[in-house]
Amino acid sequence: MIKRFLLLFILPILLYSQERDTVKIASKVKLYEKNEWKALLHYDNGFKVTDKKFLLSKNPSLKNELIATIKAFYDLPNNYQNINEHTQCKFPARFLFITHELNISKNEFPKINCQDFQIYKQKAPADNVSLIYASENVKNPSSMMGHVFLKFSGKNDKNLKVNHAITFYTVIESANPLSLIYQNTISGMKGLFALQPYSVIKENYTKKENRNIWEYQLSLSEYRRKLIYYHVWELKGIDMKYYFTSYNCSTVIYNMLSLANPAVYNDKKIWITPLDSVKYL
């Protein structure tokens, strides 16, 4: 009876107090101005991803999104029919970034059992992260500049070595030049974000398309590695528009590399090509 009383009355009061303090500290140190935060939100003079499942604030800005995210992290688990919809489960990279940068223990937040996220970590481990560059394919307009993506390597829950490719791409469905120009500059094309066995992607590039592949393993701290690894999970099921020149595979990788080294974010260009991503290394 006493325990139930604490859960119903005392705990929400304590969490509200902690939430208010965390928001205050984060705002004071201007955590929202950090390059990592901008990279996590895919922000470059505006939000490149505008899906409401990705942006939590009513009036999106870097600061408003930080505040809304922190508040949502303090939500009690019994407020969700599906615990996997809790913000801690949907945005583990944001959670890691905020707790790490503010030096806050995760124990100050409600303990959430993110079942789907745990399965992701078991089935697609990232003990090592590599950047992969595939050479150009002149027969495919979307790959004339080459393609760049990530590879996760590690041992899964069955102790088997597995490799996964993480790619962002689009499928061109029209050969009409005017339609392509309109989609590239105004409407955007449907962006596809996929996690697939690396062997399948590698065989397709090297054997079917006769393209060369270069692999660059990244030297990362555990924190930086997890930021990238967890952020990939955050993009699952998000509506992302693909633009050839302003938001493509290179742009997404550029954000990932900014999580590995925040200084990369300062070296923005109007148009980032796959080779630019290699040069950032």
Query: pLDDT tens digit string along 164-212?
Result: 999 987 766 555 555 555 555 555 667 778 899 999 999 998 998 889 9
Confirm if 219 and 130 have CB atoms less than 8 A apart: no
> What is the band of 73 on the pLDDT scale with cuts at 50, 70, 90?
very high
Which residue type does 132 have?
I
pLDDT at residue 126, as a whole number: 97
What pTM was computed for the model? 0.88
Confirm if 125 and 156 have CB atoms less than 8 A apart: yes
Mean pLDDT, residues 66-77: 96
CA atoms of 20 and 89, how far apart (whole Å) = 21
> What is the band of 222 on the pLDDT scale with cuts at 50, 70, 90?
very high
> What is the band of 84 on the pLDDT scale with cuts at 50, 70, 90?
very high
pLDDT at 124 over 90: yes
Mean pLDDT, residues 132-160: 82
Q: Which of 36, 26, 96 is nearest to 66 (CA)?
A: 26
pLDDT at residue 183, as a whole number: 57
pLDDT at residue 247, as a whole number: 76
CA atoms of 123 and 154, how far apart (whole Å) = 9
From start to end of the chain, where are the E strands? Answer: 128-134, 147-155, 161-169, 189-197, 213-217, 240-242
CA atoms of 57 and 19, how far apart (whole Å) = 16
> What is the band of 259 on the pLDDT scale with cuts at 50, 70, 90?
very high
Strands of the sheet with 128-134, listed across from one edge: 213-217, 128-134, 147-155, 161-169, 189-197, 240-242
CA atoms of 241 and 234, how far apart (whole Å) = 16
